Each structure stands twice: as C-alpha cells, then as structure tokens.
Amino acid sequence: MTAKARQPGPAADPAEPARVGGLLYIAASLIAAVLTVADPGYANHDGRVLAMSSFGMICGFGFWLFARRMPRWIAYAMPPFGGFTLCFGMVLDGNIVIGGEVLLTWPLLAAYMMPNWVILCTFASVLASFVPVALWILGPAGVTPSITMTVTLLITVLVLGTLRRRNARLVDALHRQATTDGLTGLPNRRAFTEALAGLDPGSWPVSLALIDVDHFKRINDTAGHAAGDEVLRNLGDLLARRIRGDDLVARLGGEEFVAVFTRTEGDEALAAADALRRDVRDSSRDWTHPITISIGVAGPPIAATDQDALLAAADAALYRAKAEGRDRALAAGAATVGPCPS
C-alpha cells in the first residue's frame, strides 16, 4: 500500500478543461463577430457568420457556467467539436479565413489538459474537417493552407506534449519530496495520512502499530546525532523489508514509526507487530548500536477512517508498553506480548 499521488498531466477534474474550453468558445465567437461587424469585407455572408458566432457564444457560456455538472465525455468531446464547428462556419461563409487561426486553440486545449486519445481525436478531426473545406473552397490553392495547418498543428501538439511531460515529472518529483522522509526514504506523516484515508473497503479491517525506539535519546547523547541517524536509517530499511506488500510503514517523526496492517485485526495484528519487534531486536545485534522497540497496536472496533482515534489508541498502548519495561508489543485494551518485566 502506498500513498496515492496526484496524477499530473491530464486534468483529473473535467470541469477545469470545460471552463477553459468555454472561454475559448466565447473568445472565438467574439473575434468572428467583431471582425464581421467592423470590417465589411471580412465575411462573405455576415448574417451566417453572426449566427454561428451566437451559437458559439451560447455553447461557451454553457460550458463555462455548467462545468461542474458536465459529464466527462462532454468535456472530452469539446475540442474536436470546436474544430468541426469552426470548419462548418467556413463552409457557410465560403471563406477559410473565418475562424481559421482559432482552430489552433482546440488542439492546444486537448494537448495540455486532456488524455492522449483526446489529443489524437482532436488533431484528426481538425485536419479531417479543415483540409476538405480548404480544398472545396479554394480548389488546388487550398493545398498550401492545408499543409501549413497540418504542420503547425503537429508541431504545436508535439511541443505542448513535451512541456506537459516535463511538468508531470516535476509535479511527481515535488510530490515525492513532500511525502518522503528525507532521512529514511520512507513515507512521511503526510503520506501515511493520505494512504490511510485512501484505503478502499477491500483493505479492511485495518490495524495500526505505533513503533518507538527504546532509549533513543541515550544513543544521541552518548554517540552523537550521526549515530542516531544511522540507527533510524537502518530501522527504516529493516521495517520496509519486513512488512507485507499491501501494508505500509512510515516515519512519523523523531524516533517514531508507524506500520499499517491491512486485512488484519486482533491477535493477528498483535502477532505481526511482535514479529517486527523480535526481528528488530535480533537483527540490530549486528549494528553499531543495537536497539529494541516498543509497539502499541490499535484496530477494530475503531474504524480505519478515524485516524485520530486509531493513533490515540495506539499511542496509549505504546505508553503502557514502555511503562511495563519496553521491548514489547501491546494492543489497546489487550495483553502485552514481549519479554516479561524484570
């Protein structure tokens, strides 16, 4: 189990590209309407262009105002539909100038904010619409603008696709930095919180083991903080290698770690925690500074979604484990597992 990272690149929320697409519809419609009114020679059929502009304005405001309620498929269909609409406007006016340049906005939108298949569909739909229109209106002279538009769109999509991938890598690196403990390489408290909150019901029941290094301050005071850091790194590496693939271990801070056992409760969770305790005690005998750990375990009937209650119960059990002599695992409201107090 790992913390769920935000996936960079395509917008996870379709409302974001829907709002941007709505603004582009409005901008394209305004440009066509203003140029038609301001320049009598801009359009061959002013009424048709103004009617198409009005249609575009209505669509744009609809996309912008109702973006939050819009189904994902409508948001994804917007860029290809926008290119088709502009080409249809050219057919009505008999002029490829009307809105031709604005065709670039739809691949731009799709390339940066939507999945790859939407990019390809938009690119194909724009070319499939524009090239026949250009050849139909201009005849052989339409070959040049068709080639120009094809090359321009292709370069634009490739450049923005490259930028999106670089941005995705940067976002992913920043997320890893924000959710990874710099000393041990384990997930940190934030990652632990996100992972626990993101568990699906298939992982229930969930038990939590709060782990603390016994007498850690003594190591720092006698051997120095570098020795303490070495102990924490060794412990983090050992815990990461010992837990099951579906479980999680994280460093909460200082000498405190946490393990999350999925599909585990009661005696099974306590046994898993005690196995970690014994493994740390035995394996650390070969370290420069051997250690023992104390563990407090909490789980059902506390719900996995109640993180504060789980941590509080595990912390109380950990406190009791230390009070009873350390180097032991103790479940909240249950018996201790570990060496008998001396």
Would you name the residues annotated as active-site residues?
Answer: 255
Q: Give CA separation, 81 vs 50, 90, 92, 114, 125, in Å.
A: 19, 14, 16, 15, 8
The DSSP element (H or E) to which 119 belongs, if any, is helix 116-138
CA distance 218 to 225: 10
Q: Say which residue the tokens 């709060």 belong to.
A: 210
For residue 248, which of 194, 296, 201 has the smallest C-alpha distance?
Answer: 194
Q: In what order do the strands lie in the sheet with 329-331?
A: 248-253, 256-262, 206-213, 293-298, 329-331, 336-337
DSSP-derived pairing of the beta strands 256-262 and 248-253: antiparallel
DSSP sequence for 288-308: SS---EEEEEE-TTS-TT-HH
State the burial class of residue 274 (Cβ atoms within 10 Å of its Cβ: 0-12, 13-18, 19+): buried
d(C-alpha 115, C-alpha 236), whole Å: 38
Chain mean position to CA 73: 20
Contact, 109 vs 65, CB < 8 A? Answer: no
**Residue 119, both tokens:** 């990019």
Provide the b/e sequence for 293-325 (b: ≥16 CB within 10 Å).
bbbbbbbeebebeeeeebbebbbbbbebbbebe
Whole-angstrom Cα distance, residue 191 to residue 251?
10
